[in-house]
Structure 1
Amino acid sequence: MPTLPLSADQLQQRLNAARALHRGEVRRAAVAGMRLGIDLGTSDVVSVAMAPDGEPLALRLDWADVVRDGVVWDFFGAVSIVRRQLDALEQALGHRFAAAATSYPPGTDPRISVNVLEAAGLEVSGVIDEPSAVVELLGISRAAVIDIGGGTTGIAIVENGRVSHRADEATGGHHVSLALAGHSGLPLAEAEILKRERGADIWPVVRPVFEKMCDIVRRHLARLPDGDLYLSGGSCSLPGVRELFQREFPAHRVHLPEHPLYLTPLAIAHHALAAQGAHHASR
């Protein structure tokens, strides 16, 4: 299904809506044709119900340590969270989803995420690597998408509207938390909370981890020497991230919307819509 470019304002409106849904500030009614996307991340599991026009209708997020570097090490825990989120969505929308799309870090086995959804009783309507999902949502024709996940940094290079190169390397939000825990002497779980709640205070401590992420990205950006660079992932919310990437990549225009935590989950739900459209077009 062809995807029209999503303007910065449209994207921010959807991210704001996702944030409001997460905080319980917005309630939406179920609509015909809505679809479900499930993001099995290293730090969290997020389920997003999306209307056919791309607006998020309901969202459930659980902070969880069930996935590490693209591997579901706590399979039972992951399945239990997905089932619990399905129950919560059914209660909120009055609708039980039978299918969902999901994602995986580039270079890992897609079946890992697929197995979790199937064990939770869902049909898998689509599966896509994380940075490519963001590319599809944004509808961009030439750019780089950098998805800083919990365990890895994913890169997708887009040329002529198609992903020409994708990669994923270790170093993500989990490593930021490890650096913070080591510096502060806090348990890792407390460092995670500190990272989310006091980003400006901890930036000097964790900046070297983001500099390493820039080094990872640099190795792949030779394929795109200039143009737009889009940042995604909850760790990008830390003050200083956008400025660091812009300084490290002066030939690129660095884009970082507010609430980037929800960008990949929204992109996965959007992929569920796109997969449904492609299915109907092929019939």
Structure 2
Amino acid sequence: MVDLKQVNQVLQEFNEIVNTKKYRPFDKNKTLKVGVDLGTSSIVLAILDEQNKPIYGSFEYAEVVRDGLVVNYIQAVQIVTKLVHEAEEILGVELTEAATAVPPGTLGNDFKVVSNVLESAGLNVTTVVDEPSAAARLLDLEKGAVIDVGGGTTGISIIEDHTVVKTIDEPTGGTHMSLVLAGYHKVPVPEAELIKRDRSRESETFMIIKPVVDKMANITKQFLETYPIEPLFVVGGASFFDDFSKVFSKYLGKEVLRPDYPQFVTPIGIAIASEKE
């Protein structure tokens, strides 16, 4: 059974570390677990100790990935390199390896490019995990569904025995929220993105983008009609609105749980997955 209270404690600790730019004391003789999440709207670096406790974390907004594909390779490498070097300077250790993740169903060259980004930044890639499996690692989800609402897509994955057994990835995500906001406010998309992130305007913004959330919920409902399973968890940066999971719960007619700071669930899960088997 998922201990959501414990998961939220880890997420809160990580969020505080990210915001304060400080790190938690650790034994430099012990192995660190490092994860790099190349997201649609940001790149996140997560570093944990052997007990999966957050040591350090950082992120930078970036538009280097679209629908799971790296569309600006050079910038992606530059940002990962910067985040790694900053972490090394703050922690006083050298980071030599890390895990990363790809959307479910990513194959071939797209799969390799994500690894190449880390390798070009000087990191050996220990593991490449699919994003819902990474989220399930942090949740310690044995059986259930992970609804991952990213920048470009909404992915729903069925988990059984800690393994993803079925998944879909539909092109509706945070980017579509920004497009709706841009049209409503008659502003460029980058400006709409800033409006979306402004927590002081959350209530107004959510009313505007709610049709997009309804569409995500409908996609999820149709998928789960074929693969009914519980519990249901929603993660991903685009789900940060306070009323997001409430809309999903009402639409699906069953409880949909959302961890605190859902944007950090997958990055931390990636770091957990970095441990060599």
Q: Compute the TM-score of the two structures, normalised by the length of structure 1.
A: 0.91
Q: Who is 2:88 aligned against?
A: 90
CA–CA distance in structure 2, aligned partners of residues 84 and 121 of structure 1: 11
Question: Offset of 1:30 from its aligned partner?
Answer: 3.9
Show the 5 A alignment for 1:64-83.
64-83=62-81
Q: Who is 2:184 aligned against?
A: 183
Letter in 2 for 1:238: F
Q: Who is 1:261 aligned against?
A: 263
Is contact 1:58-1:92 (8 Å) kept?
Answer: no
CA–CA distance in structure 2, aligned partners of residues 86 and 6 of structure 1: 31
Quick check: 221-230 or 146-155, which moved more?
221-230
Letter in 2 for 1:220: F
Q: Which of 18, 24, 37 is equivalent to 1:22?
A: 18
CA–CA distance in structure 2, aligned partners of residues 169 and 258 of structure 1: 24
Kindly tell me: are residues 235 and 229 of structure 1, through their superposed partners in 2, closer, same or farther at Cα, counting changes over 3 Å? same
Show the 5 A alignment for 1:184-263.
184-197=185-198, 198-250=201-253, 252-263=254-265
Structure 1: stretches of 5+ with no match in the other structure: 279-283
SS in 2 for 1:110: helix
CA–CA distance in structure 2, aligned partners of residues 50 and 90 of structure 1: 14
Letter in 1 for 2:18: H
SS in 2 for 1:96: coil
Is contact 1:6-1:137 (8 Å) kept?
Answer: no
CA–CA distance in structure 1, aligned partners of residues 11 and 218 of structure 2: 28
Letter in 1 for 2:193: E
SS in 2 for 1:227: coil
Letter in 2 for 1:242: S
Equivalenced residue count is: 270
Q: Who is 1:272 aligned against?
A: 274
SS in 2 for 1:42: coil
Letter in 2 for 1:206: I
CA–CA distance in structure 2, aligned partners of residues 161 and 116 of structure 1: 28
Letter in 2 for 1:232: V
Tell whether 2:156 aligns with 1:155: yes
Per-residue CA deviation, residues 93-149 of structure 1 (Å, 9 max, x unaligned), is 111111110001112232121111111121100011111111122222221100111
Per-residue CA deviation, residues 249-280 of structure 1 (Å, 9 max, x unaligned), is 11x3211122111111111111113xx2x1xx
Q: Who is 1:51 aligned against?
A: 49
CA–CA distance in structure 1, aligned partners of residues 155 and 133 of structure 2: 9
Quick check: 167-176 or 220-229, which moved more?
220-229
Question: Offset of 1:223 from its aligned partner?
Answer: 3.9
SS in 1 for 2:90: helix
Quick check: 153-162 or 61-70, which moved more?
153-162
CA–CA distance in structure 2, aligned partners of residues 36 and 45 of structure 1: 13
Q: Compute the TM-score of the two structures, normalised by the length of structure 2.
A: 0.93
CA–CA distance in structure 1, aligned partners of residues 21 and 39 of structure 2: 24
Q: Who is 2:8 aligned against?
A: 12
CA–CA distance in structure 2, aligned partners of residues 244 and 236 of structure 1: 11
Q: Which of 34, 59, 65 is equivalent to 1:36?
A: 34
Letter in 2 for 1:150: G
Question: Offset of 1:225 from its aligned partner?
Answer: 2.1
Is contact 1:149-1:172 (8 Å) kept?
Answer: yes
Letter in 1 for 2:8: Q
Letter in 1 for 2:35: G
Per-residue CA deviation, residues 30-79 of structure 1 (Å, 9 max, x unaligned), is 43111110000000000011111111111110001111111111100000
SS in 2 for 1:103: strand
Q: Who is 1:281 aligned against?
A: none
Question: Offset of 1:192 from its aligned partner?
Answer: 1.1
Show the 5 A alignment for 1:110-121.
110-121=111-122
SS in 1 for 2:274: helix
> Taking every aligned residue pair, what percent have the same amino acid on both sides?
37
Is contact 1:49-1:57 (8 Å) kept?
Answer: yes
CA–CA distance in structure 1, aligned partners of residues 178 and 169 of structure 2: 19
**Structural RMSD (CA):** 1.5
Letter in 2 for 1:142: K
Is contact 2:96-2:122 (8 Å) kept?
Answer: yes
CA–CA distance in structure 2, aligned partners of residues 226 and 271 of structure 1: 24
